[in-house]
Amino acid sequence: MRVLGISGSLRAASINSALLRVAMRLAPPEVTLTVFPGVGGLPLFNPDLETQLPPQVSALHAAVAASDALLFASPEYAHGVTGSIKNTLDWLVGFEPFVYKHVAVLNASPRAHHADVALRETLKTMSAVIVEAASVSIPLLGAHLTEEGMVQDPMISSAIRGSLLALRDAVVRGQPGQGPASPLP
């Protein structure tokens, strides 16, 4: 099972990007998690470009199409989603393989809720299937943990593992490309 991680921060020291890298290390053997490396290289969304997609957008589309599920981790900037994560999603609106894709939204800053709510609203509007059991808050902001520290922290590592297992289970239960299984968790 292939999961594509998407970080909404371009900062080298981003805790959201670190969280996804840690999730790569903690993924169960049957789950292959890769992090999409091209968020920062995408052009700003312009509908006029959709007739001849820029290669960076084609790479995003190919990565999404090849994945069974998506795992988002994105910070909140000024009570909103980051421009980078929304720009990534803008390029996926109407992209057929995204529809009914199982997605999970990690929140590394549980006190922040505006961006989390807005990101979920957009994902729902785009007909993604949000796997609630896999969409967990992991209080990393201010914890000053290294990636090794996250792996070693029993609470954090089990929350991340639990998210990936819940995402795996949802994909296994769901009918890929045919919408959500019923009932969803």
Task: By CB under 8 A, name the binding residues for its own copies.
Answer: 10-12, 39-40, 42, 44-48, 77-90, 93, 114, 118, 121-122, 124-126
**Count of positions (residues) in the chain:** 185
DSSP of 61-120, one letter per residue?
HHHHHT-SEEEEE---BTTB--HHHHHHHHTTTT-GGGTT-EEEEEBS-TT--HHHHHHH
Which residues pair with residue 69 across a beta bridge?
3, 102
Nearer to its own copies by C-beta: 11 or 25? 11
Which residues pair with residue 106 across a beta bridge?
73
Nearer to its own copies by C-beta: 3 or 119? 119
**What is the smallest separation between the CB atom of 48 and its own copies, expressed in angstroms?**
6
**What is the smallest separation between the CB atom of 56 and its own copies, expressed in angstroms?**
11
Nearer to its own copies by C-beta: 111 or 124? 124
Residues contacting 151, CB < 8 A, separation 6+: 22, 25, 26, 157
**What is the smallest separation between the CB atom of 20 and its own copies, expressed in angstroms?**
17
Nearer to its own copies by C-beta: 84 or 157? 84
Question: How many CB atoms lie under 10 A from the CB of residue 35?
Answer: 18
Nearer to its own copies by C-beta: 26 or 128? 128
Between CA 69 and CA 5 the distance in angstroms is 9
**What is the smallest separation between the CB atom of 119 and its own copies, expressed in angstroms?**
8
Between CA 42 and CA 87 the distance in angstroms is 8
**What is the smallest separation between the CB atom of 125 and its own copies, expressed in angstroms?**
4
The H-or-E segment that residue 147 falls in is helix 147-152
